[in-house]
Structure 1
Amino acid sequence: MSEKLRDVETEEQLRACYPVMKQLRPHLETEDDFVARVTRMGQQGYRILAAWDEGEVVALAGYRLEENLVYGKFMYVDDLVAGEKTRGRGWGARLLEHLTVYAEQAACVKLVLDTGMANALAQRFYFRQGLLTGAMRFGKFLKAGAA
């Protein structure tokens, strides 16, 4: 098989990720917007690990290494999605396994991600992968660009 996991490093690879990311983040209206956002986020340490099969991105995880007073050094997984055509084939588990090893090598004490309260399928998947609930996150939307 020609499947493999690798970090996205070029704009061409990033553009190949857009169709899969769009399934998770439908508000990303254009490929150019996606590229611009990820490029900006990259300046803050955001990376994408993509699963490739036959030259096509079939799943991906967006992540970053962070540190705070709650956890210390940790890996935050912003995005985790398998493409609709390849769900159920173990891509999410492989991505999480790879990220776990990477986080351990980077001396992180925890791997953290968020999922929606109503997303029962994702919650069951995360429990099967050994992730446990540890907090409830609160937030509110703010007026963008308010002076």
Structure 2
Amino acid sequence: MNLVMKELKSKNEFIEAFPIMKQLRPHLDENTYLELVLDAQENDHYKMFALLEDNKIIAVTGFKPMITLYYGRFIWVCDLVTDTNKRSNGYGENLLDFVHQWGVQNNYESIALSSGLQRTDAHRFYEMKMNYNKVSYVFKKDLL
């Protein structure tokens, strides 16, 4: 088994990652997904990395470096997903460890993320396996 971390930068690479990302973001069709990724990449410093096993994408993360008064300089993990058929093999940990290393190398102080209330397995992973602290609730209001 040959694992490789790769930054995704082109439309074709983003499209190749869509089947995995769709497992986390089922509300998105391919066109909307691509439009949002390209917009976020161009305007919000969004970065996407994929973990490949034998040249096939098995896990994807999307994150953006940010600065706020609350967190200071930090990385916001927008997306983190491992293919359903490959879960519980350490790939999510591998991705998140990569984001941690990227943050350290680029002088960021912390990592933050939001996880849906229903995702109890993910919460257990973040808290027990990755040593994240639950520090706030995230609130959302739809405007349209």
TM superposition score normalised by structure 1 = 0.92
In structure 2, what is the equivalent of residue 129 of structure 1?
A: 130
Distance 2:51 2:113 in 1: 19
Paired residue secondary structure (2:118)? coil
Contact 1:16/1:56, CA 8 A, preserved across alignment: no
Query: Share of identical aligned residues, percent?
Result: 27
Distance 2:14 2:118 in 1: 29
Paired residue secondary structure (1:40)? helix
In structure 2, what is the equivalent of residue 48 of structure 1?
A: 48
Paired residue secondary structure (1:125)? helix
Distance 1:14 1:136 in 2: 30
Q: How many residues align?
A: 142
Distance 1:129 1:87 in 2: 15
1:117 Cα deviation after fit: 2.0
Paired residue secondary structure (2:51)? strand
1:54 Cα deviation after fit: 2.0
Runs of 4+, deviation exceeding 3 Å: none
1:23 Cα deviation after fit: 0.4
Amino acid at match of 1:137: V
TM superposition score normalised by structure 2 = 0.94
Contact 1:8/1:49, CA 8 A, preserved across alignment: yes
Contact 1:47/1:63, CA 8 A, preserved across alignment: yes
Measured against aligned partners, the alpha-carbon deviations of 1:46-75 in whole angstroms (never above 9, x if no partner) come to: 111101112211001110000011111100
Measured against aligned partners, the alpha-carbon deviations of 1:95-124 in whole angstroms (never above 9, x if no partner) come to: 010100111111111100000123210000
Distance 1:121 1:77 in 2: 17
Unpaired segments of 5 or more residues in structure 2? none
Task: Confirm or deny that 1:65 pairs with 2:65.
Answer: yes
Unpaired segments of 5 or more residues in structure 1? none
